[in-house]
Amino acid sequence: MKSITLSASLIYMWVLYWLSSLPGTGTSENLLSTVPSFFQNMLHLPAYGLLVLLWIATFKARRYQDSRAIWLSASLATAYGAGLELYQAYVPGRFPSWTDLILNLMGILLFSAGYRFFKPYLLIFRMGV
């Protein structure tokens, strides 16, 4: 289970990197250009929420206590989101955004709190993770 959760976390981080590397919505090469910008912004919440849950599962598979796993996962996801926002300064048609960074953090915090509340009901966390 340890290698599966780590692999899932790293692959998902690569997916977020790839999405951050897409040219800006003003170009025809962007796959997300058909999605209204409001919804693109709101997608940061579940995107980074899933990232923090994957990292929590990774740390829990390594027998970290809940509070430590959540703190490390939230810190890692926040730093990664900030790094991707800065990276977008170098992507054509993209730019770093405080709004996106705040939405990333909101998703991380909401899903971390949700993990604490819903943990007894989440199957993956009852399978020894």
Spacing of C-alpha 125 from chain mean position: 18
Residue 125 pLDDT more than 60? no
Over residues 50-101, the pLDDT tens digits come to 999 999 999 999 999 999 999 999 999 999 999 999 999 999 888 899 999 9
Phi/psi of residue 24, each to 5°? -60, 165
CA distance readout (Å), 35 to 72, 85, 118: 32, 19, 31
- How many helices and strands in the chain, by DSSP H and E? 6, 0
Task: Give the model's pLDDT for residue 74.
Answer: 97
Band of residue 124 on the pLDDT scale cut at 50, 70, 90: low
Measure the CA–CA gap between 60 and 63, rounded to whole angstroms.
5
Buried b vs exposed e over 30-65: b needs ≥16 C-beta within 10 Å?
beebeeeeeeeeebbbebbbbbbbbbbbbbbbeebe
Q: What ranges do the domains of the chain cover?
A: 2-22+37-126
Band of residue 32 on the pLDDT scale cut at 50, 70, 90: low
Task: Give the model's pLDDT for residue 127.
Answer: 54
